[in-house]
Amino acid sequence: MAIAPAAPTPRLAFHGSGAIAFSTKGEYGVRLMVQLGRHFGTGPASLAEIAAEEDLPRAYLEQLVVSLREAGLVTSTRGAHGGYELARPPASISMTEVLRALEGPLAPMLCASEDPEHAVVCDRTTRCTVNLLWVRVRDAVAGALDSMTLADLVPPRVAAATSPTTVQSEPLQGALTNS
């Protein structure tokens, strides 16, 4: 009797359940941008191919790419060999730009929004001292995102198998490393 292969382990759902979390728009959009970064300089990439590579729903990527195009981060080409590509080199696209295009303002609370209209929505703005905390959290998140570009997330292209050279990359620095 043959033993059936083990089923793949399902991925844990951790979308928006943390104190400061980005939605699937942010997560999937960053993954889309990394794929476009990998294709940079080789012409348009098909959303169908990216969806298959990243195991993401193509229809959702089609919605996300609208926001990215409106923000001037990607361009589209129609036709049989069409698709999407980065509007600029990966090194010139900050992760702040990407996430703001996908998620909107980076604010843990409405009162920490950079939009001056928040005072109209929150009646505590003039007397609230807790706002300082939320503004600092916002600025820390923005600083971390500002310090990274799309190029930081795009692995270097590996030379052809016939090439004797190897590509080494620098370890990532930041909140997720022990440096």
**What is the domain range of residue 114?**
24-153
CATH of the domain at 75: 1.10.10.10
In a domain, 120, yes or no: yes
**Token duo for residue 43:** 């012409």
- Report the largest interatomic distance among the alpha carbons of the chain, rounded to a whole angstrom: 74
pLDDT score recorded for residue 139: 92
In a domain, 43, yes or no: yes
Q: 124: burial class by Cβ within 10 Å (0-12, 13-18, 19+)?
A: exposed
In a domain, 170, yes or no: no
In a domain, 161, yes or no: no
- In this prediction the pTM is 0.74
In a domain, 1, yes or no: no
Q: Is the pLDDT of residue 16 over 50?
A: no
In a domain, 136, yes or no: yes
pLDDT 10s digits, 48-92: 999 999 999 999 999 999 999 999 999 999 988 889 999 999 999
In a domain, 166, yes or no: no
Question: Total structural domains in the chain?
Answer: 1
In a domain, 175, yes or no: no
Is 7 within 8 Å of 32 (Cβ atoms)? Answer: no
pLDDT score recorded for residue 20: 73
